[in-house]
Amino acid sequence: MAQPQDDFLIIAHRGANDVAPEHSETAYKVAIERQADYIEIDLRMTKDGHLVALHDHSVDRTTNGTGDVSEKTLADIKKLSLKNEEKILTLEEIFTKFANTTNYYIETRLVNYKAKMEEPLIQLINKYGLQQQVMIGSFSEKSLLKIRELNQNIPLVYTVLNDNVKYLDVSRIKQYAMAIAPNANQINKEFVDRMHSEGLKVYVWFFHDNEQDLMMNTLLLNVDGVFTDFMNETKALMNIIEDYGT
């Protein structure tokens, strides 16, 4: 499946987490069934160097366990369960299960302030031949620059933390990234137009509790894609906009 880079992208935020626990196999299956352009995977690294799909630094919120991921081995992680009793997935398990049936938006982060997950990530992408189906985003410029050292072609997205949109060094970001991902609360049409004039795409993220309030206005800003927790509702809004020719 080729990356639909020229089209508006619907990125299933942590999978279809409106119907199943985030990052669960079921959440990803449903997102793919709903024809998400990308499924989003937040990465964490275990104590013994395995990449797993979890958003938080700890397992407390999303599993029946406690403690930091970085202090647990993969064996420790596999003893835990998500809220629907499914097991936490490794990135390799996700690639094995879904292969070329979808595209993958992967969010990296530093591990104890170091860029440690990037090399094993690229190794897995190469192992499964998914170079054309992956986009990588991060709040960490250090992480993205490491990815760019390892691979010159994978599209990179710089994720912007809240009101940091006011202080973006666009000329620097353009050197390694093809897009930015700001929060919906922080942007307007002028901002989106300016990013487009600089040759950057704009993929917008939301907080779970404000997405439904902000999605329509966000879509009207001519952004290039959204991370959505409510894919069916987002598609319905897109159809309304298209029907009215807005």
Phi, psi of 9 (to 5 degrees): -105, 130
The answer to whether 165 touches 191, Cβ cutoff 8 Å, is yes
Distance CA 158, CA 156 (A): 7
Distance CA 226, CA 160 (A): 14
Strands (E), the chain: 9-12, 38-45, 51-53, 104-108, 134-138, 156-159, 179-181, 201-204, 225-228
Closest CA to 224 of 49, 15, 7: 7
The answer to whether 1 touches 102, Cβ cutoff 8 Å, is yes
Q: Residues near 245 by Cβ (< 8 Å), separated by ≥ 6?
A: none
Bridging pattern class, strands 51-53 and 38-45:
antiparallel
Point out the residues that are catalytic: 13, 55
